[in-house]
């Protein structure tokens, strides 16, 4: 029986997991935050070697207040030599920590805020050609001050936080004025969800 192509919008369109036979897998660089791996694996009739960032994964928070403003933070990112606008976000670097708990922790650590309501928004592979990183996004509402404040070091020491109308953030993304991938995905997904509601 031939495999039929699903109709657009049918709900059948999805990424497909595939597990090739791994012949060799080595850590070729061990970093402070993530490592670089080299895998040799069977694919079709041959063997392929690929190097990629072995990433613990991350969470990102789209925090929206009662005035339909989204909380953005700005901090220096050395690889791109920019102080880019971002969502509160962070690594899944605590063994066994639930992704929602990690999102709540990151919102508190980076913005000194807590949220009453949390909804999963989306998950993304950030750079599937070079990293196994998965980012889990949450929509946070019912915001209030966290029970404690956090000391921030290095690039986080001068984080700037700003409440921005969600429509203005969407416009900045579409105009190319804000290019952080997590911000782009989170802001557009939150805007679409609110429009559908």
> 181: which 2 tokens?
């991938």
Which one from 95, 109, 119, 156 is the annotated catalytic residue?
Answer: 156
Residues 128 and 191 reside in one and the same domain? yes
Is residue 12 assigned to a domain? no
- Distance, in Å, from the CA atom of 112 to the CA atom of 39, rounded to the nearest integer, reads 41
Residues 184 and 100 reside in one and the same domain? yes
> 162: which 2 tokens?
């700003």
pLDDT digits (tens, 9 = 90+) for 76-89: 988 999 999 999 99
> 166: which 2 tokens?
């969600």
Residue 149 has what pLDDT?
65
Residue 154 has what pLDDT?
61
Name the residue range of residue 31's domain: 22-54
Residues 136 and 171 reside in one and the same domain? yes
Q: Residue 50's closest CA among 79, 28, 18?
A: 28
Residues 129 and 167 reside in one and the same domain? yes
Is residue 15 assigned to a domain? no
pLDDT digits (tens, 9 = 90+) for 104-141: 999 999 999 999 999 999 999 999 999 999 999 999 99
pLDDT digits (tens, 9 = 90+) for 9-54: 667 899 999 999 999 999 999 998 899 999 999 999 999 999 999 9
Residues 105 and 138 reside in one and the same domain? yes
- Distance, in Å, from the CA atom of 165 to the CA atom of 173, rounded to the nearest integer, reads 13
Residues 45 and 96 reside in one and the same domain? no
- Distance, in Å, from the CA atom of 191 to the CA atom of 197, rounded to the nearest integer, reads 10
Residues 67 and 128 reside in one and the same domain? yes
* Domain end position, chosen among 35, 54, 73: 54
How many domains in the chain? 2
Query: 75 pLDDT exceeds 90?
Result: yes
Residues 38 and 134 reside in one and the same domain? no
Residue 152 has what pLDDT?
58
Q: Residue 88's closest CA among 116, 117, 109?
A: 109
Residue 12 has what pLDDT?
85
Is residue 16 assigned to a domain? no
Residue 2 has what pLDDT?
44
Residues 41 and 71 reside in one and the same domain? no
CATH code for the domain in which residue 65 is found:
3.90.79.10
State yes or no: is 156 an active-site residue: yes
Residue 114 has what pLDDT?
95
Query: 100 pLDDT exceeds 50?
Result: yes
pLDDT digits (tens, 9 = 90+) for 140-158: 999 999 876 666 556 666 7
Per residue in 115-142, is it b (16+ CB within 10 Å) or e — as a string? beebeebbebebeeeeebbbbbbbbbee
Residues 37 and 104 reside in one and the same domain? no
Residues 37 and 70 reside in one and the same domain? no
Residues 108 and 159 reside in one and the same domain? yes
Mean pLDDT of 86-108: 95
């Amino acid at each position: 029986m031939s495999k039929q192509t699903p109709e657009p919008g049918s709900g059948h369109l999805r990424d497909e997991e595939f597990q090739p036979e791994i012949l060799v897998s080595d850590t070729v660089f061990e970093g402070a935050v993530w490592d670089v791996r080299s895998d040799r694996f069977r694919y079709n009739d041959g063997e392929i070697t690929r190097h990629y960032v072995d990433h613990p994964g991350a969470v990102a928070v789209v925090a929206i207040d009662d005035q339909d403003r989204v909380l953005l933070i700005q901090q220096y990112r050395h690889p791109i030599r920019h102080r880019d606008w971002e969502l509160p976000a962070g690594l899944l670097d605590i063994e066994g920590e639930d992704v929602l708990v990690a999102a709540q922790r990151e919102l508190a650590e980076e913005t000194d805020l807590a949220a009453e309501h949390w909804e999963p928004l989306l998950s993304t592979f950030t750079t599937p050609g070079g990293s196994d990183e998965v980012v889990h996004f949450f929509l946070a509402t019912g915001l209030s001050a966290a029970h404690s404040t956090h000391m921030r070091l290095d690039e986080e020491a001068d984080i700037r936080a700003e409440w921005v109308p969600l429509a203005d953030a969407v416009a900045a993304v579409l105009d190319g004025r804000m290019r952080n991938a997590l911000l782009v995905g989170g802001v557009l997904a939150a805007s679409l969800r609110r429009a559908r509601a």
